[in-house]
Amino acid sequence: MRTAFLTKPQEIQITTTPIPEPRAGEVRVKLKMIGVCGSDVHLFLGHRLLNAPTVIGHEGLGFIDKIGEGVTDRSIGQRVVIEPNIPCRKCTQCLSGRGNICSNKRVLGLNEAGCFAEYVVLPADFCWPVPEAISDNDAVAIEPAAVSVHALLTSSAQPGDTIAVIGLGAIGLLLTHLALSLGYKVFVTEINQSKLKIAEDLGAVPVTAEGDIETQAAVLGDVWAKNQVTSIFECAGIAHTASLAAAAAPRGSEIILVGLSANLATFTPLKIAREGIHIIPSIIYHHPLDFKRTIQLIAAGIIRPGFIISRFMTLENLQSALEIAAAGDDSKIVILP
């Protein structure tokens, strides 16, 4: 099969490898679409170094073409979307219902072969059947949509509340879409004007703040306080915006950290404690509830996550796709193997 390896930072090589065989409890999926995620871009750019050439990519949609021993609830030809984070289900975190922070989890595209290939093999219960009512474009966006569903449900915000989203990459846009579809009012902040326009067209209220962090915090804090923002979702994944959220958060609000910055952010403990501000982490999703909820929301027509797709490219052009994604203007590139 054709397989795309990240051999070193900013170098993708397309090569031929044997088609993998499913073991007991596994299925093999022939991939039809693979989304390019921001984490793929970070790996490509070398922000996180891999120990060996790796097949990255984890947002996969395809059809089951072979079933391993003992699998009885999946069928050949079934259209499925891949849940790429596989907790061990044995450690303390997993046994306490927090498999999303399992330190032993298998992660497709990181510590084992990912989806930028023609086939991928994984446990059957991490391949979700896709109802006929869901289009391929919506289905390939189920995984990032599940991240957004998990983030919104992790917060204490309820429909009818007002929230703020900082950063309108794929997750920020999907979170905005989800919240608006469920009846929240959403303020958004983003430096990329085309992405800001997408959110505005969805019904969000754009807020622009310029200058140093103190000036930006004053502008955002004033707007958020006047509009009774209860929850701020940091989706940009950079230290500056995490610090900005902490500086601007209104009294009694909460900050949900969805973005994954590896750099140090800052906050003032006196403000956080005296004003009763909560800082809450949100990482990936809970298995199996968040994928189940996401698929139900799409099948019911409540959300249509495929709107974030900005272009399609081939597996042979994955190098160019990752370079384009790194420029930051595309909301979601989808690879067609």
Task: Give residue 61's pLDDT.
Answer: 98
Residue 72 burial (10 A CB sphere; 0-12, 13-18, 19+)? exposed
Task: Give residue 65's pLDDT.
Answer: 97
Q: Report the distance separating Cα 99 and Cα 85, nearest Å.
A: 9
Task: Give residue 25's pLDDT.
Answer: 98
- pLDDT tens figures, 148-176: 999 999 999 999 999 999 999 999 999 99
DSSP 8-state symbol, 5: E
Give ranges for CATH 3.40.50.720 in the chain: 145-281
Task: Give residue 51's pLDDT.
Answer: 83
User: Cβ(163)–Cβ(174) under 8 Å?
Assistant: no
Task: Give the whole-number percent of the chain exceeding pLDDT 90.
Answer: 98
Give ranges for CATH 3.90.180.10 in the chain: 2-140+309-336
User: Cβ(45)–Cβ(39) under 8 Å?
Assistant: no
3-state secondary structure of 11: strand
| Mean of pLDDT values over 313-317 | 98
Q: Report the distance separating Cα 335 and Cα 315, nearest Å.
A: 6
User: Cβ(127)–Cβ(61) under 8 Å?
Assistant: no
Q: Return the H-helix or E-strand segment holding 120.
A: strand 119-123
Q: Report the distance separating Cα 62 and Cα 130, nearest Å.
A: 10
| Mean of pLDDT values over 116-130 | 98
Write the single-letter amino acid at 195: K
Task: Give residue 315's pLDDT.
Answer: 98
- Topology at the third CATH level for domain 145-281: Rossmann fold (3.40.50)
Task: Give residue 198's pLDDT.
Answer: 97
- pLDDT tens figures, 228-271: 999 999 999 999 999 999 999 999 999 999 999 999 999 999 99
- pLDDT tens figures, 33-86: 999 999 999 999 998 888 889 999 999 999 999 999 999 999 999 999 999 999
Is residue 282 very low, low, confident or very high in pLDDT (cuts 50, 70, 90)?
Answer: very high
Please report where in the chains the tokens 């849940």 appear, as a residue: 83
* 170: Cα within 13 Å, side-chain hemisphere: 30
pTM: 0.97
Q: Report the distance separating Cα 201 and Cα 217, nearest Å.
A: 25
Residue 123 burial (10 A CB sphere; 0-12, 13-18, 19+)? middle
Task: Give the whole-number percent of the chain exceeding pLDDT 70.
Answer: 100
Task: Give residue 50's pLDDT.
Answer: 84
Mean pLDDT of the chain: 97
* Sign, Cα dihedral of 198, 199, 202, 203: negative
> Tokens for 221?
């804090």
Q: For the domain 2-140+309-336, what is the CATH code?
A: 3.90.180.10
pLDDT of 194 strictly over 90: yes
Neighbour-count burial for 213-241, b at 16+ CB within 10 Å, e otherwise = eeebbebbbebbeebebbbbbbbbbbeeb
Task: Give residue 49's pLDDT.
Answer: 80
User: Cβ(155)–Cβ(163) under 8 Å?
Assistant: yes
Give the phi and the psi of residue 325 in degrees, each rounded to 5. -60, -35
pLDDT of 88 strictly over 90: yes
